[in-house]
Amino acid sequence: MDPAAHPADRPAAALAVLNGSAGSAAGPGARDALAVLRSGTELEVARTGGPADLRAALAGLDGRRLVVMGGDGSIHAVVDGLRRLGGLQLLRDVGPIGVVPLGTGNDLARSLGLQVGAPALAARTALSGTPSPVELVLSLDAAGDVEGVVVNAAHVGIGASASRRAQTGKKVLRRFAYPAGALAAGVAARPWHLRVVVDGEVVHDGSEGVLLVAVNLGSTVGGGARLSPAATPHDGLVDVVVSEATGPLARAGFAAAMVRGQHVERQDTATTRGADVVVESVDGRRFVANADGDLTDERTRFHWRAVGDAWHVLAPRR
C-alpha cells in the first residue's frame, strides 16, 4: 500500500515545535493553529530557543506526530536535526510530518501545496492530511560526508547578496523583494567564474562569468519569486538555473523577467535537472551560498546531492 495515497490516521499525541524567538510563535496564527491541534490530539508544545533545545525536543519525540510551525528555516532546522540524530533512516521512521506555515516567505510550503496564510486549516492538515513523499538535498563536504541539508533552495552568486538586501524590503515588496534585491545587489558586483557540473556533465565551464547559480527543490524563493518555475519537491531531482546576465542591462532584464517567472526563457540563462551538483570557483575566488535563507561560510566549492522520498509531509487531501 502506498502511504501517500491515503489519509494519515489522526494521531493520539503530537509534538508541535516552534522557534520561540520568532515573533510569529506568539501571534494569532500560532494561537489558532495550536487550538486546532489541542482539540484533535494530546499536544505538547516545544518553544525552542536554539539548536540544543531543538535537539532535546526531537530526541523526546517518542512516536508522536511531529508538527513544525514556522517557515523554511524552521523546516530546515527540524529536518537537519532529525538527520543529525539518526540519519536519513530516522527522517523516514518518524512518519509524516505536519507543517503549519508561519514564516515570512513559506516557499517550501507553497511548493508542497500547503495552506499558506491559513494556520487553522494547515493545523487540520497536520492532523489528518495525506502523506506525501518529499525529496531532500544533502550538502557534502570535501570528503563526501554529509554536513547539512537543503529543503527548498540553495543559490550562489548574486542570490546570496540579494538575500541580504531582500531582508530589509520583503515586508513591503513581498514577492518582488528577491528580484529587486538581485537588481540592487547586482549593480556593482563583479561576475563569479564558477564551474557547474550536474550529474557529471559540465553545464558551465566558468570561462564566462555568471550572475547566479541556483539549485532548487521548490519553485520559489524569497517569498514567492519564481526562481525555478518548473521545479517540484517530489521528483527526486533538483532544478539548476545558471544565469550569465552579468552586464548592467542584462541584470535589469533578468530581474524584471524573474518577477514574471520568464527569466528561464532568456538566452543568457541555462536550466537543467539532475541529482548531483558541484559548483566550484575556477579562479580561486571564495563565495558563499544561501541555503534555505541562511548564508554559509565562504569557500571555493559546494557539492549538493538530491535524495528522493527522504521524508514525508502531510498535505491537504486530494
Closest CA to 44 of 65, 19, 71: 65
SS3 25: helix
pLDDT value for 17: 97
Please answer whether residues 202 and 96 qualify as being in contact, where contact means their C-beta atoms are separated by less than 8 angstroms. Answer: no
Alpha-carbon span 180 to 272, nearest angstrom: 25
Which pTM value belongs to this model?
A: 0.89
Cell representation of residue 31: 494561537
pLDDT values of the chain reduced to their tens digit, one per residue, 318 residues? 344 556 778 999 999 999 887 767 678 999 999 999 999 999 999 999 999 999 999 999 999 999 999 999 999 999 999 999 999 999 999 999 999 999 988 999 999 999 999 999 999 999 999 999 999 999 999 999 999 999 999 999 986 665 555 554 444 444 455 555 555 555 556 899 999 999 999 999 999 999 999 999 999 988 888 899 999 999 999 999 999 999 888 988 888 888 888 999 999 999 999 999 999 999 999 999 999 988 899 999 999 999 999 999 999 987
Q: Which three cell numbers stand for residue 97?
A: 510530518
Q: What is the pLDDT of residues 150-193, one digit of tens each?
A: 999 999 998 666 555 555 444 444 445 555 555 555 555 689 99
Q: Which residues contact 26 (CB under 8 A, 6 or more apart)?
A: none
CATH class of the domain whose range is 153-291: mainly beta
User: What is the per-residue pLDDT for 4?
Assistant: 52
Q: What does the domain layout of the chain look like in residue ranges?
A: 3-134+310-315, 153-291
Beta carbons within 10 angstroms of residue 294's beta carbon: 15
Long-range contacts of 227-230 (CB under 8 A, 24+ apart): 227/153, 227/155, 227/159, 227/178, 227/258, 228/153, 228/264, 228/271, 229/261, 229/264, 230/264, 230/271
CATH fold of 3-134+310-315, please? Answer: Rossmann fold (3.40.50)
